[in-house]
Structures are given as C-alpha cells and as structure tokens.
Amino acid sequence: MSDKDHSHTPYVVFLLHAMAAWRANKGGLPKAFAEKKAFKAEVEHMQRPTAKEKELNVQEAVTNAYRAYGENNISLYITASTAARVHCKWPFTNLL
C-alpha cells in the first residue's frame, strides 16, 4: 500500500487490525489499564516510519481505541426492532 493510500485509510480499519492481532496473541479484550495502554501503543505503531508528520487517521485510531475494547450492550429489543424496520414494506405494516 502506498503512503498516500495508508494515510487515507479510515481509522476503523486500523482498530480492526489491531484488535485482530491482540485477540490472536493475547485472547479476549484488553481489560486492565496497562493492557489498554499497550493496545493503544500497538495502534500507534501502525504509523508509517516514512511519514513526515503523524498521520491523522492513526491519531484518530489511538484516540478512539476505547471503541474497540469497550463493552457493547445492545438490548435484544433494539436488535429485533431494527431488524423489523429493515425488512418492512410500505406502508410499514410490520413495525414493532
């Protein structure tokens, strides 16, 4: 990947790659403060060494790292409600 393509990669891609590597090496999500700090350091190491400045997308990935290891508690009602809306037809007869 060229430096230009790397600098235009969305930060979410960096987080996904970092989380996949973390789970492969350590299993699970980072829970302790030290683990979270190490995860952020791994994300920061995705910075290209040839970059003159820090790439904004890598900085965004470090700033939003908590989104990768944070708990995701979506209730079953919201999931079912969203699924119903996605598959509904006019005139929205099957909404919950």
Q: Single out the residue of 37, 51, 40 nearest to residue 9, CA to CA.
A: 51
Distance CA(11)–CA(27), nearest Å, equals 22
The closest alpha carbon to 12, from 74, 54, 65, 71, belongs to 65
Instruction: Tell me the whole-structure pTM to 2 decimals.
Output: 0.69
pLDDT band (50, 70, 90) for residue 95: very low
The pLDDT of residue 8 is: 82
pLDDT of residue 37: 95
